[in-house]
Amino acid sequence: KLVSKKWKAKPTSIDLGDNVFIKDGEMAIITGPCSIESEEQIRAVVAHCVENNVKMMRGGVFKPRSSPYAFRGLGLEGLKLWYEIAHEAGIKIVTEVMQTSQIEEMYPYVDVYQVGARNSQNFNLLDELGKVDKAVMIKRGISGTIEELLQSAEYVFSGGNEKLILCERGIRTYERASRNTLDLNAIPILKAKSHLPVIVDPSHGIGIRAYVPQMALAGVMSGADGIIYESHEIPEKAYSDGQQTLDFAQSTRLISWIRESFAMR
Ligand code: PEP
Ligand code: MN
């Protein structure tokens, strides 16, 4: 496989410009709400990122929701607004693309296209992202194996797009005490098998706010190249995933713990 270490021994470095990288040997921190909700919220989260020297912000404008009646995002208009505010502050945008028709319209306003867990094996989407000259982060499928995640990456890579990031976000197991089961095993295994950077999402991985920091730090010590987690100025009021979202005080604390842990690794 092209994404394997056998094909390419040197770790792939993702250069997002302005000296922002996702790469082996660095610790990328990506935070922001589950859903982009309003201009006020965007400004609050951007300010939080700036205060903590975080250069990448996450958020969904097209949301895959389990219920069709749930909030599905602000769409392209929300993305444009977000881009304007974030880029003015020097912050890169990580956001989910749900279907092929969105790739082009989103292109000017995105730094990393996120492929969600539910789309992890949407091979049409992966094929089209293979033709794009922009970074793509692929999340592991809800019940996806490590091998399936690597095969999904292979779709994009073989299409010509080598700016790829892998993301462990928890898998569905028999355990119902947590939303998902964060598979920490996947991190050293993916790092050994592939030259691509590996990011961990403890928010979706455990789904319980109070335990997100522990799992984030476990991800750091397991060898991850970055952590992506949900934060919001008032998590209780978030339109989606509030139960697993940190407030800014918790987020600020986690950022310094991540950096301290990484320095000790
Ligand atoms: C998200 O990042 O908010 C999200 C929907 O993630 P996942 O695809 O991993 O469920
Ligand atoms: Mn979410």
Domain segments of the chain as ranges: 14-264
C-alpha of residue 58 to centroid of ligand 2, in Å: 10
Mean per-residue pLDDT, 117-138: 98
State the pLDDT confidence band at 159, using cuts at 50, 70 and 90: very high
Determine the Cα–Cα distance for residues 131 and 68; give it in Å rounded to an integer. 31
C-alpha of residue 241 to centroid of ligand 1, in Å: 9
Q: With pLDDT > 90 as the criterion, what percentage of the chain qualifies?
A: 100
pLDDT of 221-240, one tens digit each?
999 999 999 999 999 999 99
Determine the Cα–Cα distance for residues 248 and 32; give it in Å rounded to an integer. 10
Q: Is the CB of 117 under 6 A from ligand 1?
A: yes
C-alpha of residue 10 to centroid of ligand 1, in Å: 29
pLDDT of 194-209, one tens digit each?
999 999 999 999 999 9
Superfamily of structural domain 14-264: Aldolase class I (3.20.20.70)
Contact 53, 47 (CB under 8 A): no
User: From the CB of residue 224, how many other CB atoms can be counted at a distance below 10 Å?
Assistant: 31
* Least distant ligand from the CA of 205: 1
Contact 229, 31 (CB under 8 A): yes
pLDDT of 247-262, one tens digit each?
999 999 999 999 999 9
Can you give the pLDDT at residue 47? 98
Instruction: Provide the mean pLDDT of the chain.
Output: 98
Q: At what angle do helices 39-51 and 248-264 cross, to 10 degrees?
A: 30
Measured by CA distance, the residue closest to atom 8 of ligand 1 is 116
Determine the Cα–Cα distance for residues 202 and 81; give it in Å rounded to an integer. 27
Give the residue among 261, 209, 203, 229 at the shortest CA–CA distance from 45.
Answer: 229
State the pLDDT confidence band at 156, using cuts at 50, 70 and 90: very high
* Least distant ligand from the CA of 201: 1
Q: Is the CB of 97 under 6 A from ligand 1?
A: no
Ligand 1 atom closest to residue 139's alpha carbon, by position in its atom list: 9
ipTM of the complex: 0.99
Q: Is the CB of 34 under 6 A from ligand 1?
A: yes
Can you give the pLDDT at residue 118? 98
Q: Is the pTM of this model over 0.95?
A: yes
Can you give the pLDDT at residue 107? 98
Can you give the pLDDT at residue 134? 98
* Least distant ligand from the CA of 60: 1
The structure tokens listed for 143 are: 């019940």
C-alpha of residue 6 to centroid of ligand 1, in Å: 30
- What burial letters (b/e) apply to 141-152, b meaning 16+ CB within 10 Å? beebebeebbbb
C-alpha of residue 7 to centroid of ligand 2, in Å: 34
Can you give the pLDDT at residue 121? 98
